[in-house]
């Protein structure tokens, strides 16, 4: 079963947009109250200047249309017939909403056509740039693509780590141990994810599960009550995905840490590592190290890449660019008769030579 549910792109009605306190604009509805249930499903506005000259191609009805000073000054320069035609063309599209900025009173032809087509016509005192910024900020929040993931999200050293794995593999227990070490729980069991440009995924808990965690044998625990507000975080960006596996298939596990594996969440590729879960293995320690390694990678320090580059450099410094063949005896120690170690040789001291003896008593020389 997939960890991620089908992504959902929400929408918002014009009425919900206008009364939302987060909008931060003073708005007045002039006409078109019948259309307040029309839906907005795009987070970007449109400026309708080209519609004033009859060019309607590309105009999206489900976006907020802005008429600013430039557009209205052009409309005022038109003849009566020209203004009537511009108003007819614009409002014939059953637009979700038309907003006039700078507190300018729209032409009577526009008010008439908005009333006839039940299109909400709104006036705000804010400048176009301020109004556009406020609408974008609100719609980015309300219309962000969302999905729900079965997993656990923790904040380890300011790195958002999403724990995935089959039910019962121990995700919640690992999260609880990390909290006891001073890290933060974001969400357990249900992780609500939403997209944020440019290419980031943020997540928070499902509301009924906020601050709670389920641990088999103990039941539901309130982390905030147990450890205080410093043990929880309301929302966090996902930086790394850690999948816990109980399989014995060694091919699933990265031996070099090259981070070639990715997990897509809301079409955003996130680095994913697979950690084997076995008796006696402290997974919390490994996740802490994974978080530290992620911080180093952000700073440009990639231990695995550096290691591979050093190996390649060592191999290419010889007479040939091919991997040299290593004598079998060099795996355990110096090549007999040699003076130095070859690449691939163990760092363990070589075994002692066979005891050297003299005379009939077969005494070892170092006994003297």
Quick check: 68 and 102 in contact, CB under 8 A? yes
pLDDT surpasses 50 at 123: yes
Cα–Cα distance, 336 to 344 (Å, whole number): 16
Alpha-helical regions (H) of the chain: 14-19, 69-76, 80-91, 108-116, 128-142, 171-180, 223-227, 283-298, 303-316
- Does 162 fall in a domain? yes
**Could you tell me if residue 98 is inside a domain?**
yes
Does residue 4 form part of some domain? Answer: no
Q: Quick one: 69 and 107 in the same domain?
A: yes
Question: What does the alpha-carbon distance between residue 291 and residue 313 come to, in Å, rounded to a whole number?
Answer: 29
In contact, 217 and 251? CB cutoff 8 Å: no
Same domain, 84 and 151: no
142, 163, 181 — which closes off a domain? 142
Q: Does residue 119 share a domain with residue 59?
A: yes
Domain check: are 151 and 285 in the same one?
yes
Percent of the chain surpassing pLDDT 70: 83
pLDDT reported for residue 310? 84
Which of 298, 330, 355 is the endpoint of a domain? 298
What are the CA-CA distances from residue 51 to residues 35, 81, 92 (Å)?
Answer: 21, 15, 11
* pLDDT given for residue 318 in this prediction: 62
Active site residues: 150, 171, 189, 255
On whether residue 357 sits in a domain, the answer given is no
Residues 125 and 174 in one domain: no
Is residue 226 predicted with pLDDT exceeding 50? yes
Domain boundary among 115, 142, 169: 142
* Whether residue 350 has pLDDT greater than 90: no
**Tally of CB atoms within 10 A around 314:** 11
Structural domain contains residue 332? no
pLDDT band at 351 (very low <50, low <70, confident <90, very high): very low
The answer on 170 and 291 residing in a single domain is yes
**Entry pTM:** 0.69
Residues 294 and 177 reside in one and the same domain: yes
Per DSSP bridges, beta strands 121-124 and 97-100 are: parallel
Do 44 and 111 sit in the same domain of this protein?
yes
With respect to residue 333, please indicate whether it lies within any of the assigned structural domains: no
293 and 150 together in one domain: yes
CB atoms within 10 A of CB 163: 25
Which pLDDT does position 354 carry in this prediction? 43
Residues 159 and 215 placed together within one structural domain of the fold: yes
Predicted confidence (pLDDT) at residue 72 exceeds the cutoff of 80: yes
- Could you tell me the pLDDT band of residue 28, with boundaries at 50, 70 and 90? very high
Domains: count for the chain: 2
**Average of per-residue pLDDT across 294-308:** 85
89: nearest Cα among 119, 54, 123: 54
Note whether 196 and 292 are same-domain residues.
yes
User: pLDDT tens across 73-120, in order?
Assistant: 898 899 999 999 999 999 999 999 999 999 999 999 999 999 999 999
Least confident of 92-96, 221-225, 315-319: 315-319
Kindly report which listed range (10-19, 43-52, 133-142, 331-340) carries the lowest average pLDDT score: 331-340
Q: What is the pLDDT of residues 230-278, one digit of tens each?
A: 999 999 999 999 999 987 766 667 666 666 789 999 999 999 999 999 8
Boundaries of domain holding 193: 146-298
For the cut 90, the answer to whether the pLDDT of residue 35 exceeds it is yes
**Helix, strand, coil percentages, rounded to 5, for the chain:** 35, 25, 40
- 247: domain CATH number? 3.40.50.300
CA 289 to chain centre: 20
- The answer as to whether 360 is a domain residue is no
Ramachandran angles phi, psi of 248, nearest 5°: -95, 5
Query: Which DSSP symbol is given to 367?
Result: G
Same domain, 134 and 151: no
In a domain, 157, yes or no: yes
Dist CA 34 CA 251 (whole Å): 62
């Amino acid at each position: 079963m997939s960890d991620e549910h089908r992504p959902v792109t929400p929408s918002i009605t014009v009425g919900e947009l206008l009364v939302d306190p987060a909008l931060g604009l003073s708005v007045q509805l002039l006409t078109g109250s019948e259309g307040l249930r029309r839906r907005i499903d795009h987070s970007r506005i449109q400026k309708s200047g080209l519609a004033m000259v009859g060019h309607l191609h590309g105009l999206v009805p489900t976006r907020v249309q802005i008429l600013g000073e430039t557009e209205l000054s052009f409309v005022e320069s038109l003849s009566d017939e020209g203004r009537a035609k511009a108003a007819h063309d614009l409002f014939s599209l059953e637009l979700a909403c038309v907003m006039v900025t700078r507190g300018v009173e729209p032409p009577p032809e526009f008010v008439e056509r908005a009333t006839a087509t039940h299109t909400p016509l709104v006036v705000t005192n804010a400048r176009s740039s301020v109004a556009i910024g406020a609408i974008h900020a609100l719609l980015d929040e309300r219309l962000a693509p969302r999905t729900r993931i079965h997993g656990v999200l923790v904040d380890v050293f300011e790195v958002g780590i999403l724990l995935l794995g089959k039910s019962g593999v121990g995700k919640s227990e690992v999260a609880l141990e990390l909290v006891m070490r001073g890290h933060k729980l974001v969400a357990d069991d249900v992780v609500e994810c939403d997209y944020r440009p440019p290419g980031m995924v943020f997540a928070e808990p499902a509301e009924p599960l906020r601050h709670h965690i389920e641990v088999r044998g103990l039941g539901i625990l309130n982390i905030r009550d147990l450890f205080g507000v410093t043990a929880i975080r309301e929302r966090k960006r996902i930086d790394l995905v850690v999948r816990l596996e109980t399989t014995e298939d060694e091919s699933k596990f990265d031996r070099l840490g090259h981070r070639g594996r990715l997990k897509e969440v809301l079409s955003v590729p996130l680095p994913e590592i697979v950690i084997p879960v076995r008796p006696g293995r402290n997974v919390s320690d490994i996740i802490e190290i994974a978080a530290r390694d992620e911080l180093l990678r952000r700073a440009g320090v990639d231990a695995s890449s550096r290691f591979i580059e050093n190996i390649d450099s060592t191999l290419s410094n010889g007479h040939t660019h091919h991997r040299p063949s290593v004598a079998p005896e060099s795996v355990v120690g110096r090549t007999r008769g040699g003076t130095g170690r070859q690449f691939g040789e163990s760092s363990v001291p070589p075994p002692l030579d066979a005891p050297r003896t003299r005379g009939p008593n077969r005494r070892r020389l170092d006994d003297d």
